[in-house]
């Protein structure tokens, strides 16, 4: 099932039935007919959601506060993606009624997420909304704690960027501070993603925060590891140093070889090698490889893949074998030419080998 099919005829029918239980003048028959029209199947996920939102406003013939009162009773029957229609309604129609809307989002996000809907309120009422987000960061409900982080992410996917926070993320930092040891993985993932967003524009700020936080708790360490993923993949030595992974001296790649030097698009490639610790003490190792993919214009673009993190005793080696699929994907189109595979240890490029797509 496609994600857009969460908003199906059955969903619209059930929504209409639920609403009429609290509004006996609601024209459920024409509401369903209006939405499930000849263009419905062609609409994608967000188009369907917004179309339902607009229909709700048209057929709920009440003031905005009264509309919210009805939707607040109905929302309990809807979770996840289906439940996102409710905060979307607030985003579209509630921006001029802050108090009603914030209370509605507090309820609605507990059934789905208001991470997109809250952003226009941050932009229009920055002081009030950020004070509320800070309060939510201490809430007993994990959905509200997550909203405090996710809703303020500078570069939230599928949402317009919060440009002021890209330039200056300082208003978000007290929220993240409150959440740095959160027991909920749902919340921790958001905090890590938030910090990773910031790291793309202000890496030194994130490194300072992570260095300060590291060792606070197991939960905090988990956040830090995921927050620094972009910097770690770039081989940032300050990020690697937090985990004791910045030194690559006397750690070497040996016996690097390919299963084939030429392959066709769609084939698997196998490559194998040994990692050797030539030093006289046990070493922590982060092992990655980079593929310089050929682009349509003949230049190359590198992508780093993590292989493993492990410890290796003095004067010992460990063997690895890796399978790489050169299949055409919607996220990556392959082109003919020479692709370089480079092995990376603790941020340092060690050995490379070429494979040709023919």
The SS3 assignment for 165 reads helix
Statement: residue 330 has pLDDT above 90: no
Statement: residue 51 has pLDDT above 80: yes
Structure confidence at residue 358 as a pLDDT band (50, 70, 90): very high
Q: Which of 223, 246, 269 is the last residue of a domain?
A: 246
Angle at 54 between CA 53 and CA 59, to 5 degrees: 100
Instruction: Say if 4 falls within a structural domain.
Output: yes
pLDDT, residue 331, reads 86
Instruction: Say if 29 falls within a structural domain.
Output: yes
Instruction: Say if 133 falls within a structural domain.
Output: no
Instruction: Say if 211 falls within a structural domain.
Output: yes
Q: Which CATH number characterizes residue 317's domain? A: 2.60.40.10
Statement: residue 1 has pLDDT above 90: no
Choose among 219, 218, 199: nearest CA to 209: 199
What is the reported pTM? 0.90
pLDDT, residue 340, reads 97
Average confidence score pLDDT of the chain: 96
Q: Are residues 242 and 310 in the same domain?
A: no
Number of structural domains the chain divides into: 3
Q: Are residues 111 and 199 in the same domain?
A: no
Q: Are residues 296 and 309 in the same domain?
A: yes
Q: Are residues 302 and 317 in the same domain?
A: yes
Residue 327, both tokens: 């299949």
Q: Are residues 209 and 289 in the same domain?
A: no
Q: What is the pLDDT of residues 92-126, one digit of tens each?
A: 999 999 999 999 999 999 999 999 999 999 999 99
Q: What is the pLDDT of residues 245-268, one digit of tens each?
A: 999 999 999 999 999 999 999 999
Q: Which of 117, 147, 165 is the last residue of a domain?
A: 117
Q: What is the pLDDT of residues 196-211, one digit of tens each?
A: 999 999 999 999 999 9
Distance CA 275, CA 267 (A): 26
Expressed as residue numbers, the domain containing 173 is 138-246
Contacts of 345 (CB under 8 A, 6+ apart): 248, 251, 252, 253, 275, 285, 286, 287, 288
């Amino acid at each position: 099932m496609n994600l857009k099919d969460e908003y199906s005829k059955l969903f619209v029918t059930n929504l209409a039935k639920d609403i009429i239980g609290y509004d006996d003048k609601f024209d459920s028959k024409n509401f369903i007919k209006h939405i499930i029209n000849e263009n419905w199947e062609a609409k994608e996920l967000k188009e369907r959601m917004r179309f339902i939102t607009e229909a709700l406003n048209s057929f709920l013939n009440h003031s905005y506060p009264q509309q919210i009162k009805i939707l607040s009773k109905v929302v309990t029957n809807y979770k996840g993606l289906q439940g996102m229609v409710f905060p979307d309604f607030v985003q579209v129609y509630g921006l001029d009624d802050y108090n009603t809307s914030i209370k509605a989002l507090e309820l609605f996000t507990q059934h789905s997420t208001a991470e997109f809907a809250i952003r226009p309120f941050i932009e229009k009422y920055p002081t009030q909304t950020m004070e509320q987000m800070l309060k939510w960061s201490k809430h007993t409900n994990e959905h509200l704690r997550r909203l405090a982080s996710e809703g303020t992410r500078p570069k939230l996917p599928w949402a317009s960027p919060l440009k002021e926070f890209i330039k200056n993320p300082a208003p978000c930092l007290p929220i993240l501070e409150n959440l740095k040891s959160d027991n909920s993985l749902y919340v921790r993932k958001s905090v890590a993603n938030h910090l990773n967003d910031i790291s793309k524009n202000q890496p030194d700020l994130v490194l300072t925060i992570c260095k300060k936080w590291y060792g606070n708790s197991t939960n905090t360490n988990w956040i830090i590891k995921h927050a620094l993923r972009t910097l770690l993949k770039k081989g940032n030595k300050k990020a690697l140093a937090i985990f004791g992974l910045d030194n690559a001296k006397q750690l070497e790649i040996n016996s690097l070889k390919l299963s084939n030097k030429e392959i066709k698009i769609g084939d698997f490639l196998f490559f194998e090698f040994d990692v050797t610790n030539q030093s006289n003490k046990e070493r922590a190792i982060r092992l990655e490889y980079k593929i310089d993919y050929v682009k349509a214009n003949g230049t190359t673009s590198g992508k780093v893949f993590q292989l493993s993190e492990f410890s290796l005793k003095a004067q010992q080696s460990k063997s690895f074998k890796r399978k790489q699929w050169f299949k055409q994907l919607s996220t990556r189109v392959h082109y003919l030419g020479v692709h370089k595979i480079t092995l990376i240890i603790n941020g340092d490029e060690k050995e490379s080998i070429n494979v040709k797509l023919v």
